[in-house]
Amino acid sequence: MLYFPQLSTGAMGQFPLRWTDTFRAVTNVMMDGSMIVSADAGATGVAWDIALAGLSDAEEATLQNFFESVQGGLDAFTMLDPADNLLAYSQDFTQACWVNGPLLAVTPGVADPFGGTTAATLTNTGQAVQSLSQQINGPGGYQYCFSVYLRSASGQTVTLTQSGAGSPLQQAVQALPGWSRFLLSGATGTGDGVTFSIALAPGAQIYVACAQAEAQPGAGAFKATGVSGGVYQNCRFDQDQLGMTATGPNQYSCTIRIRSTVPPTWEA
């Protein structure tokens, strides 16, 4: 599968970054003057305008090669939104996109760090490690930052994991009585599909809220998501050429426009 490449910094873009969401409604006017209005799902789309500057020779070559590999705007690829949470249902851990171990009890409706009730209680009722995980349709070799808010009444140790086709990246953290945000950052694995998980020891109980995965080295402000995260398939370049400009030795700049007419998804 083809993915829009990351920069050498591990980011998917640079500021200024602009994206445009497109929606359309279909209106039918009846004989009596009444109207029936419905959403036109086929016209839903998003476009990104990404201005890049200070690109190295290697980054310029990577972008040019990728542009040529998809034949400009002809072939589709997958885009990881530079400004969004890649996880779906980032505040509802009972949804099908979250896979929990058979003996892990998930209880929603708990007070979260921001004054709502979107947190959940995770209880390992078994005699082995149990985990809560979600897989995204992203390349295993990219840089990601997985973040989640945790707390525990008794100071439980929790293991955060990012895994692809290769060796997993793991970090053990201690959840304390107050809410704290924990991060796991790095690149691991190869191939398609990356899984982010939270693992609990036997008998452990913790509170979890506001999970987030981003295709960059550090965590941004939390972004709540619903049925879909910021992984967009069927994206295409909306331009016939990159228009790369050399601004100095080992220095290039360009503006890229990418569009997608398919809603983002969490399926791997």
Percent of the chain residues topping a pLDDT of 70: 97
Which residue(s) pair with 162 in the sheet?
Answer: 169, 196
Q: Return the higher-pLDDT residue of 41 and 78.
A: 78
Give me the pLDDT at residue 117, please: 97
Checking if the pLDDT of 207 tops 60, the result is yes
Give me the pLDDT at residue 263, please: 64
Identify the structural domains of the chain with CATH numbers, from first to last: 17-83+230-260 (no CATH), 99-214 (2.60.120.260)
CA-CA distance, 268 to 173, in Å (whole number)? 27
Checking if the pLDDT of 136 tops 80, the result is yes
Give me the pLDDT at residue 267, please: 47
- For range 181-197, the mean pLDDT: 91
pLDDT tens-digit readout, 82-100: 999 999 999 999 999 999 9
Q: 183: which 2 tokens?
A: 């991060």
Give me the pLDDT at residue 161, please: 97
pLDDT tens-digit readout, 236-268: 999 999 999 999 999 999 999 999 976 665 544
Average pLDDT, the chain: 93
Which residue is associated with the tokens 């007419």?
A: 261
CA-CA distance, 131 to 103, in Å (whole number)? 9
CA-CA distance, 216 to 236, in Å (whole number)? 21
79 with 95: CB under 8 angstroms?
no
Give me the pLDDT at residue 24, please: 77
Q: Which long-range contacts (CB under 8 A, 24 or more apart) does 100-105 make?
A: 100/130, 100/131, 100/132, 100/133, 101/126, 101/129, 101/130, 101/131, 101/132, 102/126, 102/130, 103/128, 103/130, 104/130, 104/131, 104/132, 104/200
